[in-house]
């Protein structure tokens, strides 16, 4: 298995490790229930590594962000608990990080208003997520959907975070947070560090049914997405039905052979092997047999996580207490920072 430092890299020069002092890391995940394979390999796995490398780490269940897409209250409540159970089962340790629910720290929303007053609307209208998600709402996107990148900036800046693990599709949002931090500093005086991005070296995990798009919880094709709590039979079925092509050899060519290349990326990520090592091990296998090799690797990786999720889901009070305790710690950290912001902008 690669070392944690080898799995992640800073987007803006330098590598994470002994050569870079990291003051504070912030990241969040929307509560969509049990995460899928792409969430795990692209984000949660890195979160586990980062909590070992940095002494100040905050991870938030972004329940406020989840309201940008319609959800029933009962579904949201359950999703919050299921997401919490899953990331704990994956190895997130509340003793090594602050794990909390975003809405339990009201300063997030209050700071978002202040930062929103420094952000121009045309900048938000240009963000691709606004265009894409607005289309899914019959082109009647809400104010929350338009301005949630400002709330993301507040999430990060409220704790004076210096580094943020992000996916490639969130880089533009982090750039907005960087610009907002600089705008605030220019207007009110140096205060916020300009946060840098940390990108995973794991290849983006694609849909098993359409390897031209990323794996997604909202994919209408049930066989497209592997959830980390899926049973072994479900995992085998999904990989057996995975779209490849008419060439039987296992190769890695994301542009020419996206389907089989996605399988190779998944295989490498769950085993900790390099792409080259995976191809060497798979020499002589046709794609049908190779699908089962990848499925078995995923099953083995997720078996202990799946069992732990089931145990944690049986104790809702424990999950709620973890989030409440984390929120209290986050509030203690945020309070003096936000009080200084209030003073700087003239509220007190």
Give me the phi and psi of 268, to 5 degrees please.
-65, -40
Place of tokens 């980390």: 228
Among the options 71, 204, 214, 241, which is catalytic?
Answer: 214
The pLDDT assigned to 221 comes to 93
Q: Which two tokens stand for residue 154?
A: 């507040």
Distance between CA atoms of residues 108 and 155, nearest Å:
6
b/e string for 85-113 if b means 16 or more Cβ within 10 A? bbbbbbbbebeebbbbbbbbbebbebbbe
Beta-carbon contacts of residue 292 (< 8 Å; ≥ 6 apart): 236, 239, 240
Residue 196 annotated in active site: no
The predicted-structure confidence for 64-81, as pLDDT tens digits, reads as follows 999 998 889 999 999 999
The pLDDT assigned to 166 comes to 86
Q: What is the DSSP letter of 16?
A: S
The pLDDT assigned to 137 comes to 61
Q: Kind and range of the H or E element at 293?
A: helix 287-313
Single pTM value for the model? 0.89
Among the options 71, 96, 217, 241, which is catalytic?
Answer: 217
Q: Report CA dihedral (225, 156, 171, 175) to the nearest 10 degrees.
A: 160
Beta bridge partners of 101: 61
Task: Say if residues 315 and 88 touch (Cβ distance below 8 Å).
Answer: no
Residue 214 annotated in active site: yes
Residue 217 annotated in active site: yes
Q: Which of 95, 10, 101 is nearest to 59 (CA)?
A: 101
Among the options 133, 204, 316, 329, which is catalytic?
Answer: 133
Distance between CA atoms of residues 308 and 218, nearest Å:
24
Task: Say if residues 26 and 60 touch (Cβ distance below 8 Å).
Answer: yes
Residue 166: half-sphere exposure toward Cβ, Cα within 13 Å: 21
The pLDDT assigned to 110 comes to 98
Distance between CA atoms of residues 267 and 202, nearest Å:
11
Q: Which two tokens stand for residue 105?
A: 């720290």
Distance between CA atoms of residues 116 and 163, nearest Å:
21
The pLDDT assigned to 296 comes to 98
Task: Give pLDDT < 70 ranges for the chain.
Answer: 1-22, 133-139
């Amino acid at each position: 298995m690669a070392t944690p430092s080898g799995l992640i890299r800073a987007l803006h020069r330098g590598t994470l490790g002994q050569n870079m002092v990291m003051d504070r890391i912030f990241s969040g995940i929307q509560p969509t229930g049990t995460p899928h394979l792409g969430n795990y390999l692209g984000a949660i796995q890195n979160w586990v590594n980062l909590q070992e490398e940095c002494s100040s780490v905050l991870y938030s269940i972004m329940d406020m962000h989840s309201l940008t897409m319609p959800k029933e209250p009962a579904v949201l409540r359950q999703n919050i608990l299921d997401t919490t159970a899953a990331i704990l089962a994956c190895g997130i340790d509340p003793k090594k990080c602050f794990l909390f629910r975003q809405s339990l720290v009201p300063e997030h929303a209050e700071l978002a208003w202040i930062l929103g007053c420094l952000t121009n609307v045309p900048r938000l209208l240009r963000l691709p997520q606004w265009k894409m998600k607005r289309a899914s709402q019959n082109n009647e996107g809400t104010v929350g959907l338009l301005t949630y990148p400002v709330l993301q900036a507040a999430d990060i800046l409220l704790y004076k975070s210096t580094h943020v693990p992000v996916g490639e599709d969130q880089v533009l949002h982090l750039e907005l947070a960087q610009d907002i931090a600089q705008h605030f500093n220019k207007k009110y005086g140096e205060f916020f560090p300009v946060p840098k991005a940390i990108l995973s070296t794991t290849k983006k995990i694609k849909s098993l049914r359409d390897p031209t798009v990323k794996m997604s919880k909202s994919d209408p094709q049930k066989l497209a997405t592997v959830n980390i709590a899926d049973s072994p039979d479900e995992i085998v079925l999904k990989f057996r039905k995975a779209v490849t092509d008419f060439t039987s050899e296992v190769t890695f060519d994301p542009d020419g052979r996206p389907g089989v290349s996605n399988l190779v990326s998944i295989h490498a990520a769950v085993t900790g092997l390099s792409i080259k090592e995976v191809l060497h091990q798979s020499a002589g296998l046709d794609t049908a047999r190779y699908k089962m090799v990848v499925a078995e690797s995923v099953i083995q990786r997720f078996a202990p996580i799946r069992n732990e999720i089931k145990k944690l889901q049986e104790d809702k009070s424990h999950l709620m207490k973890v989030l409440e305790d984390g929120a209290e710690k986050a509030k203690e950290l945020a309070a003096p920072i936000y009080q200084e912001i209030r003073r700087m902008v003239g509220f007190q």
